[in-house]
């Protein structure tokens, strides 16, 4: 194996301020190998790959890449251009595509000299066609990327890397936005390319796909490499233990009889700014003691559904009934008063006011409460001690309740939001992607709190792209696709995946 080593990372370290993102990480990659880089959020996977690709300059360490002829040679660090020239391509988790340009222009960008007065479009097109045939990845070249689905954009991203004649392809969470079928197809294509000699590193935290498609697994924890294992010798339990450092207990789920309905949506339609955030004629019921899981690939109307329930978007038709009362005013305050607790999808943008303190954020939904203010003046001591109690109960860690909320980590922001929501004992909880981007420990805590609220008698609507999360928490499952909602009477991954892709409607 050592003979065909194509890449070697040695002792890479990177700090951001006081945070150590990577600490002395070394890693090898061989020709034709698919290496999975696994770890919790914040374990330093993306940072490591960004150093390899030249987006970040490491504080110490070196990278060697196979070049022409024998042996490895050092790669100049901190320059994407150098990485590209050395045959390293990276597909970023957040696509680096210009949406106003066609797929063709995005692929060609940077590969042609900027001083040239004419472009050789025909030659570029021939080469791309060849790559599409070889890789099995297809995309409409003349369509602006802004009009493409996420699956298509992903393919354009990969084609863009392949166009630069890469021998090493880095994929950062390539399946985060794909349906299970799209993900499987993607990995089949990657597997075929690896057989042709392409070396691949992919970042993931989905154990299933890591086990199914990689040859070798490297696990990062707290910025350090904690182990490497051949995929054939691994199982979900062992790698989960490597990632977290301990076994995580599955959340206990007591069996409960659903009670009276707390939320009924009847023939609800929402006209959003685009089809992606619209709903057409959706009906659903959530009862007490019940978690309704809404599965679907993002951008299929989840935003509109969450928008209506949280009072941010008015429906164009249909009714919203909460606890047998018709909701007339479609503004957030009406819905909060009606007993809706909201865990927003983008917790940084919609869940907190980053420039206000943790304590202030914790009372921000109850500023009319006499416990919090008198005649418009905040009771600072009450707010402070209230926040300290909540932070203790919900294990919100960070620089203290007086600090700005934006200084908290993602997991602690989410715990703070949970504290704010659950303190009010809401009848209905809207949990929109509640564990997205959280590490396993924090995600388990969110799941436990949701199940606790369910036992208490709340109805919960859980919107998630993570099918495993939906399957483990939900009493009933609905699938949302292209603004339409269908009740799923199966818990079979395959069937649900097809429904999410709109193929078994």
What does the radius of gyration of the chain's CA atoms come to, in whole angstroms?
25
Q: What is the DSSP letter of 304?
A: H
**Dihedral sign, CA of 291, 292, 298, 299?**
negative
Nearer Cβ to other proteins, position 105 or 345? 105
Nearer Cβ to other proteins, position 31 or 406? 406
Question: Strand, coil or helix: what is 258?
Answer: coil
Q: Per CB under 8 A, which region of 50-58, 166-174, 284-292, 441-449 contacts other proteins?
A: 50-58
Does 122 bind other proteins (CB under 8 A)? Our answer is no
Q: Which of 11, 76, 119, 228 binds other proteins (CB under 8 A)?
A: 119
Q: Tokens 């919900």 identify what position?
A: 394
The nearest distance, CB 316 to other proteins, in angstroms, is 20
Max CA separation in the chain (angstroms): 78
Q: Binding string, 65-84, against other proteins, x = CB under 8 A?
A: -------------xxxx-xx
Pick the closest to residue 227 from 440, 39, 418 (CA basis).
39
Q: Per CB under 8 A, which region of 87-95, 250-258, 365-373, 439-447 contacts other proteins?
A: 87-95
Does 347 bind other proteins (CB under 8 A)? Our answer is no
Q: Is 429 exposed, middle or buried (0-12, 13-18, 19+ CB in 10 A)?
A: buried
Does 349 bind other proteins (CB under 8 A)? Our answer is no
Neighbours of 380 (CB within 10 A): 12
Question: How many residues sit close enough to other proteins to count as binding (CB under 8 A)?
Answer: 36
The nearest distance, CB 113 to other proteins, in angstroms, is 7
Q: Per CB under 8 A, which region of 88-96, 165-173, 183-191, 424-432 contacts other proteins?
A: 88-96
Distance from C-alpha of 228 to C-alpha of 230, rounded to nearest angstrom? 7
Q: Is 183 exposed, middle or buried (0-12, 13-18, 19+ CB in 10 A)?
A: buried
Q: Which of 4, 60, 73, 98 binds other proteins (CB under 8 A)?
A: 98
Does 106 bind other proteins (CB under 8 A)? Our answer is yes
Does 346 bind other proteins (CB under 8 A)? Our answer is no
Does 153 bind other proteins (CB under 8 A)? Our answer is no
Residue 277's φ and ψ, nearest 5 degrees, are -120, 50
Q: What is the DSSP letter of 357?
A: B
Q: Per CB under 8 A, which region of 116-124, 187-195, 415-423, 492-500 contacts other proteins?
A: 116-124
Half-sphere exposure of 433 (CA within 13 A, CB side): 22
Distance from C-alpha of 88 to C-alpha of 95, rounded to nearest angstrom? 17
Distance from C-alpha of 225 to C-alpha of 24, rounded to nearest angstrom? 8
Does 466 bind other proteins (CB under 8 A)? Our answer is no
Nearer Cβ to other proteins, position 56 or 422? 56
Nearer Cβ to other proteins, position 109 or 471? 109
Q: Which of 11, 74, 110, 329 binds other proteins (CB under 8 A)?
A: 110
Residues in the chain: 505
Distance from C-alpha of 273 to C-alpha of 489, rounded to nearest angstrom? 31
The nearest distance, CB 99 to other proteins, in angstroms, is 6
The nearest distance, CB 142 to other proteins, in angstroms, is 14
Q: Which residues bind other proteins (CB under 8 A)?
A: 16, 53, 55-57, 78-81, 83-85, 90, 92, 94, 96-101, 105-106, 108-119, 160
């Amino acid at each position: 194996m050592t003979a065909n080593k194509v890449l070697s990372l040695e002792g890479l370290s990177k700090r951001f301020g006081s945070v150590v993102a990577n600490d002395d990480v070394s890693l090898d990659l061989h020709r034709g190998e698919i290496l999975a880089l696994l770890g919790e959020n914040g374990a330093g996977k993306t940072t490591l790959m960004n150093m390899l690709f030249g987006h970040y300059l490491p504080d110490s360490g070196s990278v060697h890449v196979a070049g022409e002829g024998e042996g490895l040679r050092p790669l100049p660090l901190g320059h994407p251009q150098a990485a590209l020239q050395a045959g390293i391509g990276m597909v970023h988790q957040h696509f680096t595509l210009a949406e106003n340009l066609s797929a063709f222009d995005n692929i060609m960008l940077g590969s042609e000299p900027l001083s040239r007065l004419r472009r050789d479009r025909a030659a570029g097109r021939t080469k791309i066609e060849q790559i599409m045939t070889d890789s099995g990845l297809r995309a409409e070249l003349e369509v602006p990327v802004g009009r493409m689905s996420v699956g298509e954009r992903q393919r354009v991203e990969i084609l863009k890397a392949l166009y630069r004649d890469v021998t090493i392809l880095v994929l950062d969470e390539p399946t985060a936005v794909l349906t299970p079928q799209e993900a499987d197809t993607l990995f089949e294509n990657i597997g075929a390319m690896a057989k042709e000699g392409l070396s691949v590193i992919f970042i993931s935290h989905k154990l299933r796909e890591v086990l199914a498609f990689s040859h070798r697994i490297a696990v990062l924890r707290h910025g350090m490499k904690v182990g490497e294992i051949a995929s054939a010798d691994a199982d979900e339990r062992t790698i989960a233990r490597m990632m977290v450092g301990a076994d995580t207990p599955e959340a206990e789920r007591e069996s409960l009889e659903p009670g009276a309905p707390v939320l009924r949506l009847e023939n609800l339609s929402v006209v959003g700014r685009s089809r992606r955030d619209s709903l057409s004629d959706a009906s659903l019921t959530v009862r007490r003691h019940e978690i309704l899981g809404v599965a679907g690939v993002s951008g299929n109307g989840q935003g509109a559904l969450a928008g209506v329930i949280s009072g941010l978007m008015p429906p164009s038709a249909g009714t919203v009934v909460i606890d047998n009362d018709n909701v007339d005013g479609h503004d957030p305050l009406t819905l909060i008063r009606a007993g809706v607790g909201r865990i927003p999808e983008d917790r940084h943008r919609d869940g907190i006011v980053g420039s206000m303190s943790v304590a202030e954020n914790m009372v921000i939904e109850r500023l009319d409460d006499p416990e919090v203010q008198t005649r418009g003046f905040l009771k600072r001591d009450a707010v402070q001690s209230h926040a300290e109690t909540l932070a203790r109960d919900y294990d919100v860690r960070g620089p203290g309740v007086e600090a700005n909320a934006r200084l908290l980590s993602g997991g602690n922001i989410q715990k703070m939001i949970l504290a704010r929501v659950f303190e009010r004992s809401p009848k209905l909880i809207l949990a929109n992607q509640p564990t997205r981007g959280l590490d396993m420990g924090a995600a388990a805590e969110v799941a436990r709190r949701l199940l606790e609220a369910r036992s208490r008698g709340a109805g919960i609507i859980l919107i998630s792209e993570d099918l495993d999360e939906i399957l483990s928490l939900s009493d009933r499952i609905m699938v949302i696709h292209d603004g339409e909602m269908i009740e799923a009477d199966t818990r079979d991954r395959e069937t649900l995946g097809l429904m999410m892709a709109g193929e078994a409607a």
